Every structure is written in structure tokens, then in C-alpha cells.
Amino acid sequence: MTDWIELAESVITSPWLYAVLIAVSFLDSFLPLIPSEPVVIVAGVYAATGETDIVLVIAATTLGALLGDLVPYAVGRLLGVHILKRLPPGSKRRMAHDWFARELDARGGFILVTTRFIPVGRYLATLSTGLVGYPVGRYLLFVAFATATWSAYTALTGYFGGVVFQENTLLAIAVGVGLAVVVTGVIGGVRHLRRRGTAVAADTAVD
């Protein structure tokens, strides 16, 4: 298995670094075992010392992630028609399918942006968005914003860690990764609370 962090550090002062960032963020959009966040954070840390360009780090990561998010969406669109034929009207699976389609129509931007920060959530959301036939134009708009936000946050986490801990690169990387984990957990917790609140409101309305 490729050690992406070691690969990134080996070309940290070379233009090839940005090709590595495009590749790792592309693959991480649909392959859960690819660790894009630590690699981007490492590039951000080195940007604080001037060895990389923070703008190019963010741009390369955004491009790779955006292209990568098109893969599960395209797969979902290809499979969606066949799956829909196997979901009889009135069945639980069909109702779940229709519910998610309505949720995306109502708050697709929120779902796509927040799940981009949750490793497993991003795969499920992009694939499911394709499965329910979410409009490609709206998908591209929201995913472009989501990947740009995620890329900027991840790279700048490393960058500011590098600024604070200029004399200790390993500590800067560790702090950056730790902060990314905390923020991901907070976003996941907020989404969980929102779902619980929605479920409670729905039950109350039914009663």
C-alpha cells in the first residue's frame, strides 16, 4: 500500500507535490482507506515554512476532491434507474428512497457540505445523491463549494499549526490532525442532534 504521507514529504519542494495532492484527494472521494486529510495537513505545515505554496495546495486538493466526488455520483446515476425498478411503490425501501430525495431537494447544500467533512458520510452522500437522480447542475454547485471549503480548512489547519510550531514539524502535523479529528467529530455530533430533533418533531406532529 502506498504511504501517501511519505510520498508527499519526498516531493515536498517539487511541483510533483501538487500532483500527489490531486491524486490522493481524488481517490479519497470514493476509497475510504486513502488518507487524504493527513497528507493535505502535511502540505499545509510545510507551506508555513515556505516550502510549498498554500494557495496551490488548496487549489490542487479542491480539484482532486471535486473530480473524485463525480465518480460515486456517476455510479449512482448509472445504477439508479435499475435500482428504482426493483423498489415497488409503497415498500419500505421505496419510501426511504423517496424520503432521501425529498431531503436533498430541501437541504441538498447542507447535506453535501457537512458530509464532506465526515469520511464515511461523504461516500454515502455522493453515491446516494446519484442514486436518487439529484440534478447534476445543483450537485456540481454544492460539491464545488464543499470541496473548496474542506480543502481550505484542511490545508489551513496544517498551515497555522506550522506557524505556531515552526521549530517542531512533527508536533505541528500532530496538532493539525488532532484538530481535524475534533472538528469532524463536532460536525458529526451536530448532524446527529439535528436528525434526532427532526425525528422528535415528526413524532410530535403525528401524535
Query: DSSP characters for 25-84?
Result: HHHHTT-TT--HHHHHHHHHHHHTTTSS-HHHHHHHHHHHHHHHHHHHHHHHHHHHHHHH
pLDDT of residue 178: 55
Reduce the DSSP state of residue 24 to 3 states and report it.
helix
**Cβ neighbours for 94, distance < 8 A, ≥ 6 positions apart:** 87, 88
pLDDT at residue 171 is higher than 60:
no
pLDDT at residue 102 is higher than 60:
yes
Question: pLDDT digits over 118-128, tens only?
Answer: 777 788 889 88
Describe the crossing of helices 136-164 and 92-115 by its angle, rounded to 10 degrees. Answer: 40
Rounded Cα–Cα distance for residues 118 and 164 (Å)? 26
Reported pTM: 0.75
How confident is residue 131, by pLDDT bands cut at 50, 70 and 90? confident
Nearest C-alpha neighbor of 60 from the set 34, 13, 23: 23
pLDDT of residue 54: 92
Rounded Cα–Cα distance for residues 80 and 167 (Å)? 52
pLDDT of residue 176: 46
- What is the domain extent for residue 17? 4-206
pLDDT of residue 189: 56
Question: What's the mean pLDDT in 5-20?
Answer: 91
Question: pLDDT digits over 18-71, tens only?
Answer: 999 999 999 999 887 887 888 898 898 888 888 899 999 999 999 999 999 999
For the chain, the domain total comes to: 1
How confident is residue 145, by pLDDT bands cut at 50, 70 and 90? very high
pLDDT above 90: percentage of residues in the chain: 27
Q: Which residue has the higher pLDDT, 81 or 13?
A: 13
